[in-house]
Amino acid sequence: MDANDMGSDLKDILVSEDEITTRLDELAKAIDAYYAGEEVLMVGVLRGSAMVMADLARKLHTPITMDWMAVSSYGSGTKSSGVVRILKDLTEDIMGRNVLIVEDIIDSGLTLSWLVQNLTSREPKDIKIMSMFRKPEAVRSMEVPVDWVGFDLPDEFVIGYGLDYAERYRNLPFVGTLAPHVYEK
């Protein structure tokens, strides 16, 4: 999918495909340096993190394995409440292991805050967080200290590179803003 497929539904491109690739190279370098050859279990939070998991994993030299969690937050509409339900739990036992949580975006930080607490109770050796994008609310609330962040985004309706609107547009290779006529319909 590209900008042409979106026609007038796309307002602006905020982060280009090249910028995403360059930033992922930098993040992979920093993450490799941190783990210094130790094995790490990457935990992707479905569904948005599929893109960043696939791209980051291929750039890392650190030996990795992958696992996935799906969670749903009880909230009104687009706002999460911080109360989370596990839809799909990890397959792996993480006790004594290095865990890297990989997120597409942090908004209020409530999902991540719950996730860190939940995974910490399983006694891993270490938990770190990488998020490709972050909204201003997450910076303001400082709900969870994020170890690696790709880009800080404005408080707009963003789509692409894993981010959806009504489950669509996740497969755009860049991040853009949605034209108001799409969500005001």
Contacts to ligand PRP from residues 156-175, by CB under 6 A: 164
Interface with ligand PRP, residue 134, by CB under 6 A: no
107 is catalytic: yes
Cα angle 1, 10, 165; round to 5: 75
The DSSP code sequence of 129-176 is EEEEEE-HHHHHH--S--SEEEEE--SS-EEBTTB-BTTBSTT-SSEE
For residues 94 and 121, is the Cβ–Cβ distance under 8 A? no
Tell me which of 41, 100, 111, 127 binds ligand PRP, using CB under 6 A: 111
Number of Cβ atoms within 10 Å of the Cβ of 5: 11
Q: Counting contacts by CB under 6 A, is residue 80 touching ligand PRP?
A: yes
The residue from 18, 107, 147, 152 that is catalytic is 107
Question: Is residue 116 part of the contact set for ligand PRP (CB under 6 A)?
Answer: no
Looking from the CA of 41 toward its CB, the CA atoms found within 13 Å total 20
Closer residue to ligand PRP in complex, CB, 53/106: 106
Check whether the bond before 47 is cis (ω within 30° of 0).
Answer: yes
Query: According to CB under 6 A, which one of 106, 129, 132, 153 is a site residue for ligand PRP?
Result: 106
CB nearer to ligand PRP: give 34 or 113: 113
Contact residues: ligand PRP, CB under 6 A: 45-48, 73, 80, 103-112, 164
**Catalytic annotation, residues:** 107
